[in-house]
A and B are shown apart, each in its own frame.
Chain A
């Protein structure tokens, strides 16, 4: 599904190297987790994959189902099936949540040459999906993320993911700042979307999310590269011992 090889990234504005040769191979239907200390480059990886400005790829590649991601505009990547649940979802005043999502769904369909979703179909779908995530009608009408609590913002990201039905989902610290109940809701939302064709890359600090979303593989990222890969037990090890030991191992 997603193949990242030897990815080197630095900031466009200054000569600061952030990713230093990331290699990841994600098969369809799998859930991978990335853990790692703050500042190790996890968010940067998700931004570069989704096409945010300000980063320069100096070496390496990233392919989604064989297509060169780095050569595509952000909207083309989205239409090709990539989705990023943002660590810090952005507020858009004056734009209703529902309008935003409908525009997004139809923009993607148009880019893929598919017919648009009618207002009726859209309403039916969003109502059902919002209900699962305990998002009420009121929240669908409010402007995108404006005045949402931390938990509401994250659930809203999952709602977008559910509506857009991407193939490759990246979740950047979707669990941080959530209480246990909210986290369970988010995990349920993700699990509901799991199937053999859809791949997840879950960035998190905490093992507890991985109790609910069982990963197939866990990667540890530090200082711009993946330093260790293992099964779910690796997450437990981090939870118990911190990163110090792992970092030490490597040095």
Chain B
């Protein structure tokens, strides 16, 4: 077959067009492409197979096997406020790769046209000099380099050469394992250890691909970096691993996007993201998480169990996590900051929207180890339909983290009366010179506000979107411009059907 099969409309750029074309989830179509799967289920053989598909050195395989053996003895964590059927880890595929990717293409021009077409339809052009779709170049040209991950493999990374000239390494992690083993061996698993938690251990055993970034000392990455994760295959889990190293006095802004087709059966996504920051380094990491959320009755959707952590090893290093979580049936995710270097800073800005039957348990951990460290948390949870949205946050001031500060603001907004919002803060302060401030509010979308908007001519759903976007303002402002518009539209789309 020459054409990519598209089930629903995809080219819509405006909220209106999306409504007309494809119901609520814009990315629910799939790509009809010949795939190659590892046998179903999980075993040592599968771990070996994944490692050999990636042509890995022995030490990497040993690392994976150790993780796998550890995982066998672990229990599924149950403390999160999410409720879903038990996952049968033997009833899914751990590796799925388009046949055409058997030999890694030499350049983007050699990538299977069906794959290129898929990303084009997602608005992620894999052509260099192109911008993300729907983005107006603010002034002059702003480039975004993209690593495109399709099921278990990276199909291509753009602008590698231009980045290389600046000394920046941006490639798939499978390539990095082969081409930059010294960096991988030095940093992989040092932020999120293999033993960290059930899903991180699983990921360590079976991760198939993901992105790798290294910014050398003193370099400000000349463009935005971005990875776009697409799950396409049925009954297949996606386990990707991202490692970003910002060396001394470097800067990078990194964006992560993700979507999946509409399917009746839930699919597992368990990623690990590790950020390493040396002295004076700064990383901005933004996510627009738009996995398929399941239908309005809770059928299908992605189970998103992700471990993301930044280690501010260096003095005065600074990390900023921004996330817009609109998708997934179940979200379990706590991007965290270890503030080890003195005067290091961690920020977390989050919008989590849960509609229909979605469940989100998300938040952050700020671990203050060094002195004069600062952290700031701004979390906006929006619940509609029958959804449950939990903010879970840990702020920990260790004895040596003298004169450290945290500010947490955690606001929940309810739309309708069948949904729930929960705030679970954990605060530990083990020195007496540090200060922790926590503010939390819960409000409802006010009928008077909606009527006010409507009496000025706005439709009901536009009015809700406007009020909710206002509620999320502080977080939207923290997003890179490229994503802010998209995120605003996403907010509107994910709340469709939440009123009336």
A interface residue numbers (CB < 8 A to B): 50-53, 73-75, 77-79, 83-84, 86, 89-95, 99-101, 103-105, 107-108, 111, 143, 160, 164
Give 12 A-B pairs besides A84-B455, A91-B449 with Cβ atoms closer than 8 angstroms.
A50-B455, A51-B454, A52-B455, A73-B454, A75-B455, A75-B459, A92-B449, A93-B473, A94-B473, A95-B473, A104-B456, A104-B457
A75 to B450: give the CA distance in the assembly, Å.
11
A232 to B467: give the CA distance in the assembly, Å.
42
Candidates A53, A143, A160; contact of B456 at CB < 8 Å: A160
- By the criterion CB–CB under 8 Å, are B456 and A164 in contact? yes
* B445-467 CB contacts (< 8 Å) to partner A: 446-449, 451-460, 462, 466-467
A108 to B460: give the CA distance in the assembly, Å.
13
Knowing A79-B457, A104-B458, A107-B457 are in contact, say whether A143-B470 is a contact too (CB < 8 A).
Answer: yes
Minimum CB distance partner of B16 in chain A: A110
- By the criterion CB–CB under 8 Å, are B458 and A75 in contact? yes
Q: How many A-B residue pairs have CB under 8 A?
A: 81
- By the criterion CB–CB under 8 Å, are B457 and A95 in contact? no
Per-residue CB contact flags for chain B residues 429-459 toward chain A (1 = under 8 Å, else 0) read 0000000000000000011110111111111
Minimum CB distance partner of B448 in chain A: A90
A105 to B458: give the CA distance in the assembly, Å.
9
Q: Which residues of B contact A92 (CB under 8 A)?
A: 449, 452-453, 466-467, 470
Q: Which residues of A contact B456 (CB under 8 A)?
A: 78, 100-101, 104, 107-108, 160, 164
- By the criterion CB–CB under 8 Å, are B457 and A53 in contact? no
Q: Which residues of B contact A160 (CB under 8 A)?
A: 456
Q: Please indicate which of the listed interface residues A50, A51, A74, A86 has the most CB atoms of chain B within 10 Å of its own CB.
A: A74
Shortest Cβ distance from residue A212 to the other chain B in the assembled complex, whole angstroms: 25
Minimum CB distance partner of B472 in chain A: A94
Q: Which residues of A contact B466 (CB under 8 A)?
A: 92, 95, 99-100, 103
- By the criterion CB–CB under 8 Å, are B452 and A90 in contact? yes
Shortest Cβ distance from residue B391 to the other chain A in the assembled complex, whole angstroms: 18
A55 to B24: give the CA distance in the assembly, Å.
32
Counting CB contacts under 8 A, is B469 at the interface?
yes
Q: Which residues of B contact A164 (CB under 8 A)?
A: 456-457
Minimum CB distance partner of B459 in chain A: A75
Knowing A75-B457, A75-B459, A107-B462 are in contact, say whether A89-B470 is a contact too (CB < 8 A).
Answer: no
A91 to B462: give the CA distance in the assembly, Å.
17
Q: Which residues of A contact B454 (CB under 8 A)?
A: 51, 73-75, 78
Sample (12) of A-B pairs whose CB atoms are under 8 Å apart: A50-B455, A51-B454, A74-B451, A78-B456, A83-B455, A89-B452, A91-B449, A95-B469, A104-B456, A104-B458, A107-B457, A164-B456
Q: Which residues of B contact A51 (CB under 8 A)?
A: 451, 454-455
- By the criterion CB–CB under 8 Å, are B451 and A78 in contact? no
A39 to B456: give the CA distance in the assembly, Å.
25
Shortest Cβ distance from residue A217 to the other chain B in the assembled complex, whole angstroms: 25
Per-residue CB contact flags for chain B residues 125-142 toward chain A (1 = under 8 Å, else 0) read 000000000000000000
A51 to B456: give the CA distance in the assembly, Å.
11
Q: Which 5 A-B pairs have the closest CB atoms?
A: A94-B470, A108-B457, A95-B470, A94-B473, A104-B456
